[in-house]
Amino acid sequence: MNFLKNFFYIIFFLFVFTQNSFAKNLIAYIDLDLLLKNSELGIKIYTDLDVKKNNEIQKINHEENEINKLENEIRKKQNVLTKDEFKKEIEILKKKKEDFKNFKNQAQKNFQKVKKERISEFFKKVNPIIQDYLDKNSIDILLNNKYVVMGKNNLDITKKIIEIVNKNLN
């Protein structure tokens, strides 16, 4: 009886483990950064973001120049103004510097938020295309190339996905 029980366990485990060893899982990897930077939609997003960033930088530089001019004017007036007037001017300058610092921080936060939203929108549009490609080509696992140490070049589907995205999202 004990022999029959052991025989049954051995046969059971052999079937379970040999079945998995014959299974074929297709794996591919993709460079998401390259997809974002080289697809036409991604290029448009980065171009728009660059324009927005340059506009914000110009506003920040203009404000900074205004504050520097005010600071220079106060220095020039230092010997002419009374102590109280000079203190008032310094307080106004400190307030403007603090407002500028807040403006600059807020501009950076807003830009990062817009950038994150635009990139998120891009991947919401691209994910169904990638999923369709995976289904059509029976690919079971898709990895980000950042997490792949080594792999065959034919497993990299980035260029194919860029072509499909450019064709479908224009």
Number of domains in the chain: 1
What's the CA gap between 158 and 130, in Å, rounded? 10
Is the pLDDT at 12 greater than 80, yes or no?
no
Residue 47 pLDDT class (50, 70, 90 cuts): very high
Residue 14: predicted pLDDT: 55
| pLDDT tens digits, one per residue of 124-156 | 999 999 999 999 998 888 888 887 778 788 888
Output the domain CATH number for residue 99. Answer: 3.30.910.20
Asked whether the beta carbons of 60 and 107 are under 8 A apart, the reply is: yes
State the Cα angle at 19 between 21 and 145, rounded to 5°.
Answer: 40
What's the CA gap between 56 and 43, in Å, rounded? 20
Closest CA to 111 of 35, 54, 168: 54
In this predicted structure, which of 3-7, 54-58, 149-153 has the lowest mean pLDDT? 3-7
In this predicted structure, which of 38-42, 119-123, 129-133, 150-154 has the lowest mean pLDDT? 150-154
Residue 18: predicted pLDDT: 55
Task: Report the amino acid identity of residue 147.
Answer: Y
Is the pLDDT at 58 greater than 70, yes or no?
yes
Domain, as residue range, for 83: 2-168
Residue 53: predicted pLDDT: 94
State the Cα angle at 103 between 61 and 73, rounded to 5°.
Answer: 55
Return the HEC string of 32-49.
HHHHHHHCHHHHHHHHHH
When pLDDT is averaged across residues 31-45 and rounded to a whole number, the result is 93
**Distances 120 to 95, 99, 115 between C-alpha atoms, Å:** 37, 31, 8
What's the CA gap between 79 and 150, in Å, rounded? 70
